[in-house]
Amino acid sequence: MNDLLAAYGNLIDMIFLNSIIAYSVWLTLSANMFSMATGGFLSLGAYTCVYLTMQHGLPFFAGAAAAALAATAVALILGLPLLRLRGDYFALATLAFTEVVRVVALNWESVTGGALGIFNIPKYTDTAVLLIVFVLAVYFCWALEHSPEGRARRSMRRDETPAAAMGVNIFTHKLALFAASGFLAGLAGALAGHLNYFIGPNDFGLMRTIDALAYPILGGVNSLAGPALGAAVFTIFPEFLRFSNQMREIILGAVFVLAVLLLPNGLTSFRGFRGSRRRERRMGVREKGGG
């Protein structure tokens, strides 16, 4: 076990970290919000936490909490105007936010170290911390799913008009989920900041955002296991492609396109498909039995 941790410890850490990010994205995707603000929230969380721990000597725990709360506050402020936008416009506006955060990080040298980034960050994030946050994130999403709020969310994801006619306040629901997504991403950013001794402004840009969106989409949005599964596959798979740097990107892209084409409901649809067939058969029998 210790050997395994030594050899693959970094990979395991990344799987947990990416899974936390995946649940943050899932909170928005599962309510029809195609948010590209994830990179911005990650960046905000990372810089806030590192700034507080390194320049103000705050304990890691306090810095991470402040980072998560800062990202939540920004998500609320951002969500108020942006959630009135439809589909693609919302996606573009949130992407613009991620870009703005990157540009600020690039230029605010006294806090972010500018283009050079911040070096020699103490490593506070270990596998145990990541595991705890991961478990809490999964629990949070699970508890939400298994509550009236989860039902409201599933209904408005399917069709907003009848959901509103049944008394669901669509805007408030979306804003709350967007804020929760910001909280998780801010926390994940804080953990990422203290994981690898270094952060720079380009760590949390467009590419990181797209990767983050890929996790739950690849894994499946309709299942609670989807985001973690997608993040795990998306983190492990590139390790097998280390033989060629160019081929790696191409193969990864091709696999992703194939996955979306062949499994539109994500990897978890393998199991879900069998489950629904079995359920259908059971119902069919009952129907016949009932006359």
Contact window for other proteins (CB under 8 A) among 18-26, 112-120, 144-152, 213-221? 144-152
Cβ of residue 165: shortest distance to other proteins, in angstroms?
Answer: 5
Q: What angle do CA 178, 144, 177 make, to 5 degrees?
A: 5
Cβ of residue 63: shortest distance to other proteins, in angstroms?
Answer: 23
Among 6, 148, 243, 246, binds other proteins (CB under 8 A): 148
* Rounded Cα distance, 34 and 46, in Å: 22
151 near other proteins, judged by CB under 8 A: yes
Contact yes or no for 173/83 (Cβ under 8 A): no
Nearest-10 Cα torsion for 183, 239, 118, 227:
0
57 near other proteins, judged by CB under 8 A: no
133 near other proteins, judged by CB under 8 A: no
Cβ of residue 31: shortest distance to other proteins, in angstroms?
Answer: 14
* Rounded Cα distance, 196 and 157, in Å: 37
135 near other proteins, judged by CB under 8 A: no
Q: Where are the alpha helices (DSSP H) in the chain?
A: 2-29, 38-55, 60-82, 87-107, 109-112, 127-145, 148-158, 160-165, 170-193, 206-219, 226-236, 245-262, 269-290
* Rounded Cα distance, 273 and 223, in Å: 12
278 near other proteins, judged by CB under 8 A: no
Contact yes or no for 231/184 (Cβ under 8 A): no
Closer CB to other proteins, residue 155 or residue 196? 155
* Rounded Cα distance, 226 and 231, in Å: 8
Among 144, 221, 236, 255, binds other proteins (CB under 8 A): 144
Which token pair is 90? 């919302």
104 near other proteins, judged by CB under 8 A: no
Amino acid symbol at 246: Q
Closer CB to other proteins, residue 83 or residue 101? 83
Amino acid symbol at 99: E
Contact window for other proteins (CB under 8 A) among 83-91, 152-160, 199-207, 208-216? 152-160
32 near other proteins, judged by CB under 8 A: no
162 near other proteins, judged by CB under 8 A: yes
Cβ of residue 179: shortest distance to other proteins, in angstroms?
Answer: 12
Among 54, 93, 104, 164, binds other proteins (CB under 8 A): 164
Closest C-alpha among 3, 4, 77, 87 to residue 40 = 77
155 near other proteins, judged by CB under 8 A: yes
149 near other proteins, judged by CB under 8 A: yes
Closer CB to other proteins, residue 10 or residue 172? 172
Where does this chain bind other proteins (CB under 8 A)? Answer: 140, 143-144, 147-149, 151-152, 154-155, 158-159, 161-170, 283, 290
